[in-house]
């Protein structure tokens, strides 16, 4: 199953992320190498939301990431949520419909 981890970013996110960015990206690449994190990044204009796409058996894989992410732990993220995404088209779709 696919899950979106959605971050509502705090004011000053861009200016304050520098000291946590290497640790955040290391955590993200480790999750990617385990096959959990498919894609991740911030939305632009304005930079107020980030979205990370996870694949796993439950929403716990995305929630566990958020609970250890230095961006969350250090207040760069005001709020985070996990939403299941029902994928129906594409090679990686969980429930392909033709």
- pLDDT tens by residue, 31-50: 999 999 999 999 999 999 99
Question: By CB neighbour count within 10 A (0-12 exposed, 13-18 middle, 19+ buried), where does 57 fall?
Answer: exposed
What CATH architecture does domain 2-85 belong to?
A: 2-Layer Sandwich (3.30)
DSSP type of residue 74: T
Tokens of 95: 């429930």
Which pTM was predicted? 0.94
Q: Which residues of the chain are under the pLDDT cut of 50?
A: none
């Amino acid at each position: 199953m696919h899950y979106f981890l959605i971050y509502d970013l705090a004011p000053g996110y861009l200016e304050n992320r520098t000291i946590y960015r290497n640790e955040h990206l290391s955590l993200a690449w480790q999750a990617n190498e385990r096959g959990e994190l498919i894609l991740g990044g911030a939305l632009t204009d304005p930079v107020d939301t980030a979205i990370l796409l996870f694949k796993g058996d439950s929403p716990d894989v995305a929630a566990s990431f958020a609970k250890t992410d230095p961006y969350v732990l250090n207040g760069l993220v005001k709020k985070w949520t996990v939403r299941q995404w029902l994928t129906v088209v594409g090679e990686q779709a969980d429930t392909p419909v033709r």
